[in-house]
Amino acid sequence: MERALKVEEYLFSVHKLSDDGEQNVVNCGNGRDGGDEDRRKQTGNARINQEYITTNPTSEIHYNISQATCNTDRKKLMVCCPTSNSTTVRPIILPDTTTTLPSTSVTPQTHHFSEGEKLLPSQCESNMTGFQPNLFVVEGQDASLGELPWVALLGYDNIKIPIWGCGGTLITEQYVLTAAHCVHSYYTRGINLTVVRLGEHHLGTEPDCEGVQCAPPPQNFSPADVIIHPDFDTRVSISDDIALIRLDRKVKLSAYVEPLCLPPAGMDVEVLLAGSQAEVAGWGLTETGQKSLILQKASLPFLNTTTCNPHFNYTLVQEQICFGGGAQDSCRGDSGGPLVFRGSSPFLVGIVSHGKDNSCGVLGYPAVYTSVAHYRTWITKYLRP
């Protein structure tokens, strides 16, 4: 078991590893594409990984390694190898258990995108104009009751007493958008998503009230389908970190539960967001390091890729956007949770994806988000009544 744990730790890093064909020695690149000068020799655990791959083809370790391959050359096996300068997805807080459950991933039937478009909220505007940037709110704070009716909570393991580990965003009456790593067995350690909750505000009270205003009880749903983007990269850059969850029934719409608009397909996010902020939300970590009982929100500054790239061991792709770097970041939110832009109508600009190492709310350390505008066509392709 000690050996398996070493391999698991070994996989959660960001360098490339390949067999050079000479005496089982491997070359470990530094994450750049700079050639031989960017490589160093490494032995030890790398060969152990190779042995697991070749001698235990049905083992869980073999599966984990296969999910962590870093192939750019399909003729060479490449897996992630250790480094102290790693990329870390926002943590999914799950119990330390060896329980293995079937994956929730399914292969859905696709539908013509125009059918999916019809399922999106009718009040959403295709022209996102009239934005008035709020450049003054920089610290996380409690959201007001009913202020963010699209925020979803994802629960794992026990359906009656779930472990709340990720967030999501309601985008239609029956679909929630989240990060792929929130529902991929490589990150959830085989523990299934069991419940999706909407209309929650304070995890410790029911009903939720502010003064004389009280919200109805939150609505719980089972995941009927989980659709992970086929190009989701579990390796270095964690790209295409997006997934759809179809609920087992439609939500009951109210002032406390309603879907959020998607951005127009192909919207130039960098032009729109330059010099602006967006709002992250969730029950994430507070300044005390504990998860909040009350839904939190925080405004984060946008960083262009030129400013953001030096913070990571890879170059952001166009489907990724960067926010934060100040005293607050998406620790205030949850993995898979929404990053919202306030235009004439609010819309979902990003999904909380990952940060660097375990830095959280540290000056100068931004986080990476999945840019939803690049996936609108993919999203609507899989929506069905």
Active site members: 181, 241, 335
> 207 preceded by cis ω (within 30°)?
yes
Q: What span, in angstroms and rounded, lies between the C-alpha atoms of 62 and 55?
A: 9
Residue with tokens 């190779």, as numbered in its chain? 50
Q: What span, in angstroms and rounded, lies between the C-alpha atoms of 251 and 325?
A: 36
Are residues 188 and 94 in contact, defined by beta-carbon separation less than 8 angstroms? yes
Instruction: List residues bridging with 367 in a β-sheet.
Output: 323, 355
Residue with tokens 């085989």, as numbered in its chain? 190
3-state secondary structure 12-67: CCCEEEEECCCCCCEEEECCCCCCHHHEEEECCHHHHHHHHHHHCCCCHHHHHHHH
Q: What span, in angstroms and rounded, lies between the C-alpha atoms of 123 and 149?
A: 15
Sequence-distant (6+) residues with CB within 8 A of 212 are none
β-pairing verdict for 320-324 and 219-221: unpaired
User: In the structure encoding, which two tokens stand for residue 259, read together?
Assistant: 């879907």
Query: Taking the alpha carbons of 167, 170, 174, 177 in that order, is the dihedral positive or negative?
Result: negative
Q: What span, in angstroms and rounded, lies between the C-alpha atoms of 144 and 261?
A: 20
Where do runs of H (alpha helix) occur along 112-215? 113-118, 185-188
The continuous run of DSSP H or E covering 324 comes out as strand 320-324
User: In the structure encoding, which two tokens stand for residue 31, read together?
Assistant: 């994450």
User: In the structure encoding, which two tokens stand for residue 75, read together?
Assistant: 């003729």
User: In the structure encoding, which two tokens stand for residue 138, read together?
Assistant: 């920089």
Backbone angles phi, psi at 84, to 5 degrees: -85, -5
Q: How far apart are the first and last CA of the chain?
A: 46
